[in-house]
């Protein structure tokens, strides 16, 4: 399975990011032990066949949670923010409104997949 990391390619290259969040039921069906090839999103568009890998990842856990979880508990939101290697000037609430808020039909109660991984 391939996953694109458009906003955090450098964090993946540096092996700092260990969590990602994805919208869609297909991500909730990923099982622990699944191997993921992390790629930069722009390469999927430019060259979908020969995409340079950023890293190989093994899924540790997948958890369904409402989007609001990272806003309702500030400590949890800040901790997750660090695990996702998001910019420190962007709060969890900003992340929700700036990124998730741009997607059609997404609300604070939308269920997203929290995917935790390790590097191989």
Please count the structural domains in the chain: 1
pTM: 0.88
Q: Name the burial class of residue 104, with classes exposed (0-12), middle (13-18) and buried (19+) by CB atoms within 10 angstroms of its CB.
A: exposed
Query: According to the model, what pLDDT value does residue 83 have?
Result: 95
CATH number (domain holding residue 43): 3.10.400.10
Three-state SS string over 21-52 comes to EEECHHHHCCCCCCEEEEECHHHHHHCCCCCC
Per-residue pLDDT of the chain (120 residues; tens, 9 = 90+): 878 887 788 999 999 999 999 988 999 999 999 999 998 775 555 555 667 789 999 999 999 999 999 989 989 999 999 999 988 888 888 888 777 766 788 888 999 999 999 999
Determine the structural domain holding residue 104 and report its residue range.
2-119
């Amino acid at each position: 399975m391939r996953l694109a990391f458009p906003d955090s390619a450098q964090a993946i290259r540096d092996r700092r990011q260990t969590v990602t969040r994805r919208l869609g039921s297909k991500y909730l069906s990923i099982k622990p032990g699944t191997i993921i090839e992390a790629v930069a999103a722009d390469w999927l568009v430019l060259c979908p066949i020969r995409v340079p890998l950023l890293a190989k990842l093994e899924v540790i856990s997948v958890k369904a949670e409402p989007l609001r979880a990272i806003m309702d508990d500030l400590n949890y939101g800040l901790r997750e923010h660090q695990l996702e290697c998001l910019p420190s000037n962007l709060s969890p609430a900003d992340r929700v409104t700036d990124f998730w808020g741009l997607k059609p039909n997404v609300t604070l109660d939308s269920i997203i997949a929290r995917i935790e991984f390790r590097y191989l």
